[in-house]
Structure 1
Amino acid sequence: MEQPAHFLVITFPAQGHLNPALHLAKCLACLPNARVTFSTGAFAHRVMFPSSPEAEVDDGLLTYIPFADGSSGKTNAHDKDLRNFVEQVRRLGSQHFDSILRDLAARGRPVTLVIHTIMLQWASDVARDLGISSTLYWIQAATVLGIYHHFFNGHKAYILSHAKNPSLPISLPGLPPFQFRDLPDSLLVTDPTEFLFGIFEAFREVFNALSRSHRPKVLVNSFDELEASELSSMGEYMELITVGPVMPEDAEKTDTTADIFEQDEKDYMDWLNSQAERSVVYVSFGSVHKMVKEDVEGISRGLRESKRPYLWVVRKDGKEEGLELEEEDEAEKNNGLVVAWCSQLKVLAHSAVGCFVTHCGWNSTLEGLVSGVPAVAIPKWSDQHLNARMMERWGTAVRAEEGEDGRVGADELRRCLDVVMGQGVNGVEIRRKAEWWKKRAREAFSDDGSSGRNLRSFVEEVICRMPSSPLSIEEINQ
């Protein structure tokens, strides 16, 4: 019997990073001859395992080992000062990760390959210093990866010089045309004191490392048919291995996520059961965006005037300080339900959900695609603007346009809902496209699909390249 390969999947302790990393870890662990350890910051680990807040946990499928991130308690550590938290994670995490890898080797469980997500190039550096191979797991779209690559490899000056013209068209080699407003925010940060500068630096480190290798392998949470031309165009620079949409097959039935927010006690699934098929508007802006008064008022009025039942996620920490949300009582009068957090995959899979009003984070984009739910796209920051543009091109969404105040108003939200959920030609076509992409996405991550085959081949190659005897702790310490 072949010796099992030991994969260590490590990710930044933020919701949008945890879920795709955990899903990949579980998919890897289900393959033959693969042992998997999952590591994230102490903050997220404490929330995931409140009864073992500092300890290693083994659930029979994965081993979970936290790395130090300087946080304490269950406070969402990166909310108040993201820039300093990124640096803190880098400094403390890299020191502790070295100890984790050495300790695993000393216990007879040496790591074969470290798989790290974006923001954690330091994990690859630590692994390299110990003679352990590593691979980047890109948890955003391949198109976004292409934009970052070209930015850091010859197009930085051009992009920065035109960044203040949001409607100006831009075309980068091998990528479809889009507008400057679609660029990830962090690309345009030049001031080290800015909120997003830590993210910019983390991405710069990743792409500097990639440029030092000849066609490095990169796992991508996408699938061949979804971004065919973009994947092909990047083949000259990297070997992109599509393994997405990465989510376990039973994700709609069981809790497979690593939620750092408490589920709402309201029985929203029973509420969905009482609604007509494809009648409910599901509204969620993810784990980062904070609601302000103008957001609440506009969305609230738009939902009421649409006269459709709705399920609206508003995190307890997702409102600006001092904002009291009166929408909960108002929602009940209008056949709506406001919850603090929910299991998004279960909600999207429910037959009552007919539209997803989304911030267009890549996880939400893929979850909507896999569920066949058409969307109203209201991007907020990061890669979300480009994701919204791609959703339009796939034909699965209507992108809401912002008013002069930079916000989507009630009338615009209602218009978009009428298009997506109405009986007009556009709505019928959007729903048809959503179903078409649902089939393509599910085919891709099935055992016989392109992504399923890619992941198996990747693991088999890692196993084939393993030395007959792994490095001992003595060799690692040399």
Structure 2
Amino acid sequence: MTSSLLHVALFPFMSKGHMIPLLQLVKLIHIHKPEAKFTIFTTPANEPFIVSSLTSIPPKLINIICLCFPPTSQIIAGVESTDQLPSMSLFTPFLYATETLQPYFETALKSLLPITCLISDGFLHWTLESASKFNIPRLAFYGMNNYSFVLCTVMVGGRLFSKVESEEELITVPGLRWVQVTRNHFDSPWNEQEPQGPVVDYIAKCVMATSNSYGLLVNSFDELESKYLDFWNLNFQPKAWCIGPLCLAHEPKLDNCYKPNWVNWLDNKWAERRHVLYVAFGTQAEISNEQLKEIMIGLENSRIDFLWALRIKPNQEEIVDGLEERVQGRGLIVRGWVDQRMILEHEAIQGHLTHCGWNSTTESICANVPILAMPMLAEQHLNAKMVVKELKVGLRVETCNGSTKGFVKSEELKRVIFEFMGKEHGEMVRENVEELSKVAKKSIQEGGSSWINLESLLTDLQMGK
């Protein structure tokens, strides 16, 4: 459907890590096409976050449509995003629950025509069927990089673990002979010899819907992983477009009416020329009580200044009780939602201890902050491998038994923090991340690789190609 007016519909998956980059993409498209209109589909509980994230765009250009999320036998009323799930064991039921939104989505979609394209989270496979009914091109978005997406597709899609007994046996990736992975680089059930179950069935639908979509949007830039982008576009469908890093779509700004306490704390550290380690493990990781204790002890004994954006279960509060007093003056613990990019951009931050979620990884690179990788789940082990082995912008926290996955002891965390923040090893990764940060910023500016990719894509969509 061709229209001179660009009208982009977006449907993010109901999870902060998925919503944030797509909302950043809205800002980026607005920079390219200031007259473009946007319709964003979500559920009532997620609307306030979306509204607060898009204040830089004129309200007349934004239309938010809330679809009621019916409670199911496992997902109670009011739980409308994955960070509200009482346990990640409910993630698969949550995925299936999104399918109940399809009829309401189609009714709304029909009333909004013409629509230039639909940008849908890859987890919402059913949006392809809906978009196809109205001849709307669908672009899938997963929030992953090309590297992890390619490795998952080749190894899991090709069932290459079916005859591999050991979880730590190195396997050369077909077509990418310089890359070796183990079963433990992948999460369950994908690392099993014969993956099966409801989540496997659901993701199979997502893969099929993606392969039949107009394109695949990737929060990355050509220069970061050109070998893997080329490999995907040579061997798989649909065409992948690198249009990131999306976090650079806007500059973080302080609210003049409110200045978080961590800003003053970091300002004071910088005035004293103290280097600070930023610690954050995302919104989805469920850290065991034992592992939480080891992280605490490792940070406390490292003698390094640190800022910890702490998200734990309510019943874990007694575990961290007393930590703030013991590290007072040297460590700051912040609870609740923080502007992570603003923290990373602060001059005092000289390292990032992270789970290696892709949003956090790109934010670190763009902020010129080296990474200390401690992956937890999903594709984070692959991201950590990429950070350390491919990009060489970070170090890996080793597990106590040397396996890809496993328990991290406080002694190891203390040791690697000291090495990471020290001059000898820290200098090498700092030089690499500084160079990569420059390329990242250039890619999204006018004339850069991601700028050209997005401009070309939007032009093709407007012309109905």
- Coarse TM-score class (shorter-chain normalised): 0.7 to 0.9
Question: Partners of 1:192 and 1:84 in 2: how far apart?
Answer: 15
Q: How far apart in 1 are the matches of 2:21 and 2:339?
A: 15
Q: Is the 8 A contact 2:140 2:210 kept in 1?
A: no
**Mapping 1:88-237, distance limit 5 Å:** 88-90=97-99, 92-105=100-113, 110-151=114-155, 153=157, 155-156=158-159, 158-162=160-164, 164-174=166-176, 176-180=178-182, 181-188=184-191, 197-198=198-199, 200-212=200-212, 216-236=214-234, 237=236
Amino acid of the structure 2 residue aligned with 1:235: N
Shift of 1:43: 3.2
Matched, 1:386 2:386: no
Change (3 A) 1:314 1:373: same
CA deviation vs aligned residue, 1:325-346 (integer Å, no higher than 9, x gap) = 2154335435111111311000
**1:291 touches 1:320 (CA, 8 Å); kept in 2?**
no
Deviations 1:328-365 (A, max 9, x none): 43354351111113110000000000110000001001
User: What is the CA-CA distance between 1:87 and the residue it aligns to?
Assistant: 0.7
Alpha-carbon separation, structure 2, partners of 1:28 and 1:463:
13
What is the CA-CA distance between 1:31 and the residue it aligns to?
A: 2.3
For 1:460 and 1:125, the matched residues in 2 are separated by: 24
SS where residue 269 of structure 2 aligns?
coil
What secondary structure sits across from 1:435 in the alignment? Answer: helix
Taking structure 2 as the reference length, what is the TM-score of the superposition? 0.86
2:43 to 37, 41, 56: 41
Please give the alpha-carbon distance, in whole angstroms, between the structure 2 residues aligned to 1:265 and 1:122.
Answer: 42
Residue 451 to residue 85, structure 1, CA distance change in 2 (3 Å) = same
What residue number does 1:459 align with?
Answer: 458
Alignment of 1:344-423 (within 5 A): 344-393=340-389, 394-404=391-401, 406-423=406-423
The question of whether the paired residues in 2 share the 8 Å contact of 1:14 and 1:44 is answered with no
Query: Which is worse superposed, 66-75 or 231-240?
Result: 66-75
Could you say which residue in structure 1 is the equivalent of 2:91? 82
The 3-state SS of whatever aligns with 1:124 is helix
Structure 1 SS opposite 2:325: helix
Secondary structure of 1:457's match? Answer: helix
1:441 partner SS? helix
2:310 aligned residue: 314
The DSSP-based 3-state class of the residue aligned with 2:398 is: coil
Q: Which runs of 5+ in 1 are unaligned?
A: 51-56, 256-263, 467-478
In structure 1, distance between residues paired with 2:20 and 2:326: 29
Report the 3-state secondary structure (helix = DSSP H, G, I; strand = E; otherwise coil) of the residue aligned with 1:88. Answer: helix
Give 1:268 deviation, angstroms. 0.8
User: Contact conserved, 2:44 with 2:68, CA < 8 A, in 1?
Assistant: yes
What secondary structure is seen at the aligned counterpart in 2 of 1:38?
strand
2:150–2:228 CA contact under 8 A, matched in 1:
yes
**For residues 36 and 411 of structure 2, what CA distance do their matches in structure 1 show?**
52
1:187 Cα offset (Å): 2.1
1:20 aligns with: 21
SS of the aligned residue for 2:388 comes to: helix
Query: How has the CA–CA distance of structure 1 residues 96 and 373 changed in structure 2, closer, same or farther, with 3 Å as cutoff?
Result: same
- Comparing 273-282 with 165-174, which one deviates more in the overlay? 165-174
- 1:408–1:146 CA distance, 2 compared to 1 (3 A): same
Q: In the aligned structure 1, how far is the partner of 2:415 from the partner of 2:294?
A: 13
Residue 224 of structure 2: SS of its match in structure 1? coil
Pairwise CA distance, 1:144? 1.8
Cα shift at 1:202: 3.7
Contact 1:224–1:450 (8 Å) recurs in 2: yes
CA displacement at 1:47 relative to structure 2: 4.9
* 1:142 alignment partner AA: N
Corresponding residue pairs, total: 436
Change in CA separation of 1:186 and 1:13 when aligned onto 2, cut-off 3 Å? farther
CA deviations over 1:6-28 (Å, ceiling 9, x no partner) = 11111110011011111112211
Residue 320 of structure 2: aligned partner: 325
1:67, 1:79 → 2: CA distance?
22
Cα offset, 1:61, TM superposition: 4.5
SS in 1 for 2:246: coil
Distance across 2 between alignment mates of 1:400 and 1:167: 20
Q: 2:295 aligns with which of 269, 288, 299?
A: 299
Separation in structure 2 between the aligned mates of residue 380 and residue 172 of structure 1, nearest angstrom: 26
Q: Is the 8 A contact 1:36 1:63 kept in 2?
A: yes
Alignment of 1:247-286 (within 5 A): 247-253=247-253, 267-276=261-270, 277=273, 279-286=275-282
Deviation at 1:186, TM superposition (A): 4.8
Query: What is the distance in 2 between the residues matched to 1:377 and 1:272?
Result: 22
What residue ranges of structure 2 are gaps of 5+ in the alignment?
72-76
- Aligned-pair CA distance for 1:444: 1.1
Aligned-pair RMSD on alpha carbons? 2.7
Question: Does structure 1 retain, via aligned residues, the 8 Å contact 2:275–2:305?
Answer: yes
- The 3 A distance-change label for structure 1 pair 383 and 152 is closer
Cα offset, 1:376, TM superposition = 0.9
- What's the offset of the Cα at 1:125? 1.4
Residue range with higher mean Cα deviation, 65-74 or 441-450: 65-74
Distance 2:275 2:353 in 1: 13
Measured after TM superposition, the shift of residue 65 of structure 1 is 1.8
* C-alpha distance 58-127 of structure 1, shift in aligned 2 (>3 A): farther
Residue 275 of structure 1: SS of its match in structure 2? helix
Q: Which residue of 2 aligns with 1:470?
A: none
Please name the residue that 1:335 is paired with.
Answer: 330
